[in-house]
Structure 1
Amino acid sequence: MNDKFYESEQILDLSKAQDRGSKKWVAMMLPEHVALLREYSKEIKREPKPDLDEWDYDAIHHTLDIAIKSKADTKVKMWRDGAFIYNRGIVESIDLRSRVMELEDPFSLLQLKLDEIVDVTIMD
């Protein structure tokens, strides 16, 4: 008799149920709490700034020197406000006094701060 009971019983498959996550709790929260939770979420996603040593700066300088002389397609990795930003183009000039590099991409001429650069790669 027990076997028939188990055969006729429908087994619920909970893997197809979709939870609304935090949406169901937002209606019960104050706007200040929602703002703090969003700010906390942004803080968690922040990338730490890489610690560059003398060897890293020397490698960046050497790669930039080759890129500007050969007018090669170059990828520049920058760290700004907790996130990595990638730009790609041809290095036009470097101004050491104002610590700015000009990079020409297909759409515009970008001015990048040298202090934000963490890696440079020649793509050619």
Structure 2
Amino acid sequence: MSNIPSELKFATSHEWVSVDSDGIATVGISDHAQGLLGDMVFVELPDVDDEISAGDDVAVAESVKAASDIYAPVSGTVVEINEELEDAPELLNSDAFGEGWLFKVKLDDAGELENLLDAEGYKNSIDED
């Protein structure tokens, strides 16, 4: 069973979101998603200052099995990217909810978080896959 931290919010497309007190959302892909994709070999991230909208495809994770689009779970401005992934895409596999984060976004509308699943809802959605 995949590890699903209870403090995170999840999109049905397997992205997770953690929001700090400054309204900055950290985005990554779930442990379940990295497990389905397999060994990561390349990650293409958005650029800092990119304006993104919830549902947009904003990044690509490429594994030995396939390339998969990563969708923005929230709208806002990209304020930071995880540059470590450039040289170590395997961080998505080894620490999907920690060092394997993808990018950070200054939220346009914190209300969008209500559209995401909690850990239990996400667990139920992947149990149905």
TM-score computed with the length of structure 1 as normaliser: 0.26
User: Which of the two has greater helix per residue?
Assistant: 1
Q: Which has the higher contact order (CA 8 A, sep 6+)?
A: 2
